[in-house]
Amino acid sequence: MPRPEEVALPSRRERFEDRRKEASHRDLLDQFFDHRTLLAVSRLVNQGLIDSIDFPIATGKEGGVFRATRGDEYRAVKIYRIANATFRNLPAYALDELRRETSVRNYGGLIFAWTRREHTILGRLADAKVRAPYPYGHLRNCLVMEFVGNEAGAAPRLLDAQVDDPEAVYQDLVLQIGRMVRDARLVHGDLSPYNTLLFEGRVVLIDVAQAVTVEHPQALALLERDIANFARFVGRLGFEVDPEEFLRAVGGTDLRPPPAEA
């Protein structure tokens, strides 16, 4: 059995074409893979969810996403940094949801609850046929999910992608957000071209942990903000859409309270 540190970013694998990257990989190892996280990754290997973690896809202040291998397929592993004060700056509505599972003063517990929550929400989206990474499993601060991409690499963010048909992207957004609202009964709450991927001409919704149910008091305001983000984006690409029409198309107007009787 390999040691835990040999599972994460192994240095002796043919998949690494450029050995000079090893130093940067080791730097990432120090940043993300503390002893407890290494043990969690090792357990994920023992559970058969992954064979190894290959290399980083994207990294940020709160965590990183790494490509992993399982047999002859790729998977993605999202790892939240445990020692990161910026995670304390979650929006109030997200903290309200987590308070049901753990104390906000228990920072490690907060991270683990956030990971569980993202896994659960991805499962709800899969049941509703929303195009989002399929969740395979989780442990502590590690989430194993579908890899969106191919041999050439991970799918780009919508913000960075070459969009040849903005109207088709808009129609796909209507379909996916509509399924999220109507079928999964969820509102993303932080949706924008920054956390949407474009793969083979179709959008993929990601970073869903902060999603709330449509019954949440802030659900409509959050959905309106999500819609406004995308209306501006497709508008800059040359396809103008009225945000109110966009909201109506995804079923958002159904979240509005009925007008008060005169």
- What is the C-alpha to C-alpha distance for residues 252 and 50, in angstroms, rounded to an integer? 38
Q: DSSP H helical segments within 78-134, as ranges?
A: 92-98, 107-127
207 is catalytic: yes
How many Å separate Cα 7 from the centre of its chain? Answer: 23
Instruction: Specify whether the backbone of 92 is left (phi greater than 0), alpha (psi in -120 to 50) or beta.
Output: alpha
Interatomic CA distance for residues 155 and 144, integer angstroms: 17
Active site annotation includes 190: yes
Burial class of 66 by CB neighbour count within 10 A (0 to 12, 13 to 18, 19+):
buried
| Distant-in-sequence, close-in-space partners of 20: CB < 8 Å, separation ≥ 6 | none
The amino acid present at 122, given as its one-letter code, is: L
Residue 141: closest CA among 188, 87, 177? 87
Question: From the CB of residue 247, how many other CB atoms can be counted at a distance below 10 Å?
Answer: 23
Could you say which of 51, 190, 226, 254 is catalytic? 190
Rounded distance, CA 161 to CA 246, Å? 22
Contact between residue 226 and residue 177 where contact means Cβ atoms under 8 Å apart: yes
227: number of Cβ within 10 Å = 24
Residue of 30, 54, 160, 207 marked catalytic: 207
Point out which residues pair with 216 in neighbouring strands. none
List active site positions: 190, 207
